Amino acid sequence: MTADATAVPEADWGRAVALVRAADTVALACHVTPDGDALGSMLGFGLALRAAGKHVVASFGDRGFTVPRLLRFLPGQDLLVEPAAYPAEPSLMMTFDASTMDRLGLLAPNAGKAAELVVVDHHVSNTRFGSLHLVDPGAASTTMLVERLAGRLGLTVDRDVATCLYAGLVTDTGSFRYSATTPAAHAMAGRLIAAGLDPDAIARELWDRSPFAYLRVLGAALDRVTLEPEGAGGRGLVWTYLTRVDRARHGLPYDEVEGVIDVIRRVDEAEVAVVLKEDDEGGWNVSTRSKGAVDVARACTALGGGGHPCAAGFSSTLSPEETMASLRPLLTPDAA
Ligand code: AMP
Ligand code: MN
Ligand code: MN
């Protein structure tokens, strides 16, 4: 999909600008277990707003609220409050990178009571759950919509804001490797780098470091990886799983295993890759990736999750085998 400057009607940009200008306090939220785009878009916008004199609170609705280790380098962490300290009935609330109300987790009731709820997102599957929607499925990342809104508000994109926005852009384009890598994505990267950020430091924080224990846990995942040549409609399915016992054995926190899918999805013999990850409470988060022929967002949405056609996920309380049994039949190639 290409970026479409008309995906958001001009009148909606105008309303968003008016709402933000009129507000003294703006309450920001991003999706649970935030990734670089969720946290980067929220904190980047929050920092720019605060520099313009607004009072800003930001949060995400995870039980056991912690910022993933990978994202602790992002500026603006001091904007964050725990869900319990979040305004119960915000006059203006804005959500980032969340495709549904559910993705706000513990903050969904706050969003339900907000006088105005501005939804900033780029998921095709966005359910338009707010009172105003800045949603462009053609945007490579939610941070791209934040840059447009900041521009319309006349906010300054300084080095810290740029660092947050760039983190979202490189996360969702896979460092300019995925199909979301448009001329607009590169042009935005150019503007952000010109604001003085440090691309190599950001890349190292996001992808090029891990505790040693990660290698042991990755080893466990690779030990039990399965290739099903007949899977995904005969195009090949590769999958594995990681238990909380695997992680406990080596002392590895849950937020360190996000990169396992990037190892699994590289195999030539499979169109679809799946990694099932058990969290500390015994729930499972399922990551799916496709090379383009199978719409994994459709499959994951059918199982209560969501995402993008080539990168999607859902939660499960079943065993890995049982979860795979419900997922397998949904992994069918699109009609040519
Ligand atoms: P992940 O595999 O966790 O990197 O997630 C890939 C993409 O799938 C994310 O960008 C989200 O858009 C989406 N996603 C993952 N888990 C869920 C979920 N439980 N519900 C809705 N969307 C999800
Ligand atoms: Mn996200
Ligand atoms: Mn995103």
Give the tokens for residue 255. 């937020």
Q: Whose CA is nearest to atom 13 of ligand 1?
A: 307
Q: Strands (DSSP E) along the chain, which ranges?
A: 25-30, 55-60, 92-96, 116-121, 132-135, 226-228, 237-242, 272-278, 284-290, 306-308, 311-316
| Pocket lining: 312 vs ligand 1, CB cutoff 6 Å | yes
Question: For 131-174, what is each residue's pLDDT tens digit?
Answer: 999 999 999 999 999 999 999 999 999 999 999 999 999 999 99
In which element (H, E) is residue 38 found?
helix 36-51
Give, using CA atoms, the residue closest to atom 2 of ligand 1. Answer: 287
CA distances from 268 to 166, 228, 272, 291 (A): 30, 12, 10, 10
Instruction: Tell me how far the alpha carbon of residue 306 lies from the centroid of ligand 1, in angstroms.
Output: 6
pLDDT at 1: 44
- Strand 55-60 and strand 25-30: the pairing is parallel
Token pair, residue 185, equals 């994505």
Mean pLDDT (whole number) for 14-20: 98
At 334 the pLDDT is: 83
Using an 8 Å Cβ cutoff, are 41 and 58 in contact? no
pLDDT beyond 50 at 29 = yes
How many angstroms separate the alpha carbon of residue 286 from the centre of ligand 2?
A: 14
Q: If 0-12 CB within 10 Å is exposed, 13-18 middle and 19+ buried, where does residue 73 land?
A: middle
How far, in Å, from the CA of 223 to the mean position of ligand 3?
Answer: 31
How many H helices and E strands in the chain? Answer: 13, 11
> Which residue's CA lies nearest to atom 1 of ligand 1?
287
Q: What is the DSSP letter of 335?
A: P
Query: Per-residue DSSP letters for 89-106?
Result: S-SEEEEES-SSGGGGGG
Which 8-state DSSP code applies to residue 334?
A: P
For residue 6, is pLDDT > 80? Answer: no
- Is residue 287 in contact with ligand 1, taking CB distance under 6 Å? yes
40-60 pLDDT tens trace: 999 999 999 999 999 999 999
Does residue 306 have its Cβ closer than 6 Å to ligand 1? yes
Q: Is the pLDDT of residue 317 over 50?
A: yes
Average pLDDT of the chain is 96
pLDDT confidence of 2, banded at 50, 70, 90?
A: very low
pLDDT exceeds 60 at position 92: yes
Ligand closest to 311 (CA) is 1
Can you give the pLDDT at residue 149?
Answer: 98
Average pLDDT over residues 215-244: 98
Per the DSSP assignment, residues forming a β-bridge with 311 are: 289, 308
83 lines ligand 1 (CB under 6 A): no
Q: How far is ligand 2, taken at its centre, from the CA of residue 230, in Å?
A: 30
Query: Over the stretch 160-214, which tens digit does the pLDDT of each residue have?
Result: 999 999 999 999 999 999 889 999 999 999 999 999 999 999 999 999 999 999 9
Ligand at shortest distance from the CA of 168: 3
Q: Which atom of ligand 1 is nearest to the CA of 314?
A: 19
Neighbours of 318 (CB within 10 A): 12
